[in-house]
Amino acid sequence: MMMGIACLLLAYIAGSFPSGLVIGKAIYHTDPRDYGSHNTGATNAYRVFGAAGGLAVLILDVAKGMLGVYLGQVAASAMAMPEDQRIYLMVLGGCVALVGHSCSIFLKFKGGKGVATGLGIILFLAPWETLIVFAIWCAIVAATRIVSLGSIVAAVLVPVLMYFFDEPLPLTIFGLIAAVLVVVRHKDNIIRLMQGRELKVERIKKN
């Protein structure tokens, strides 16, 4: 039991790791929260640091989600759970990492919107659905240059695809909860989209 709790605690700490802030401070000597959309996510990292910085943040944030699921799997193994029940702790580990990303202990319980970390979770648990969702996200962003729109549409499609691919119920429920979380976290973006004021994914000039 203690091993399982320790793994879930590690999942939260891993999810809390502020990738954008660490890369910005360590490599670019810049706090991404001072520019653009004022957050530490991969999209704003691209605006502030360029393609290399944005990609590095994206990879790290995706890795946090995958690590959370893996730690949930380790916890299930440590607790000798039956194979058909381990999905519950794997999903829980991913959820804990997602909470860490959105409510980071290193950022005074603030954080990102969870899209990249959520992508890492479903990439580990449902790779085929992830490929479809990512392709749709790419198409929307390429056509509109608006990442938030692609993220919202992709998030809503996740539980739909999981249902049609007949994934285990815990995974489908997770997809639904994650979709709701992403939409709620993007409420300000939705308002700006409706008003035609949403930021596009493009480099910004720092003063």
Rounded CA gap, 78 and 55, in Å?
A: 34
Looking at every residue in the chain, the average pLDDT score rounds to 92
Rounded CA gap, 150 and 119, in Å?
A: 13
Choosing from 106, 141, 166, the residue where a domain stops is: 106
Q: Which residues pair with 110 in a beta bridge?
A: 104
pLDDT at 204: 72
| Span 94-103, pLDDT tens digits | 999 999 999 9
Q: Give residue 115's identity as a one-letter amino acid code.
A: V
User: Does the pLDDT value for residue 65 go beyond 90?
Assistant: yes
User: Residue 63 has which token pair?
Assistant: 């890795």
pLDDT at 206: 62
| Span 66-120, pLDDT tens digits | 999 999 999 999 888 898 899 999 999 999 999 999 999 999 999 888 899 999 9
Is residue 83 assigned to a domain? yes
Domain count within the chain: 2
Question: Containing domain of residue 91, as a range?
Answer: 1-106
| Span 132-150, pLDDT tens digits | 999 999 999 999 999 999 9
9 and 102 together in one domain: yes
pLDDT at 148: 92
Is residue 115 assigned to a domain? no
User: Does the pLDDT value for residue 207 go beyond 70?
Assistant: no
Burial of residue 187, with CB atoms counted within 10 A of its CB: 0-12 exposed, 13-18 middle, 19 or more buried: exposed
Q: Which residues pair with 104 in a beta bridge?
A: 110
Tokens 């502030």: give the residue. Answer: 48
Choosing from 71, 106, 141, the residue where a domain stops is: 106
Based on its alpha-carbon atoms, the radius of gyration of the chain, rounded to whole angstroms, reads 17
Q: Would you give the DSSP letter of residue 34?
A: G
Map residue 110 onto helix, strand or coil.
strand
Q: Would you give the DSSP letter of residue 26?
A: I
Give the pTM.
0.91
pLDDT classification of 201: cutoffs 50, 70, 90: confident
Q: Would you give the DSSP letter of residue 200?
A: P
98 and 8 together in one domain: yes
| Span 47-57, pLDDT tens digits | 999 999 999 99
Rounded CA gap, 40 and 22, in Å?
A: 9
Choosing from 106, 138, 162, the residue where a domain stops is: 106
User: Does the pLDDT value for residue 203 go beyond 80?
Assistant: no
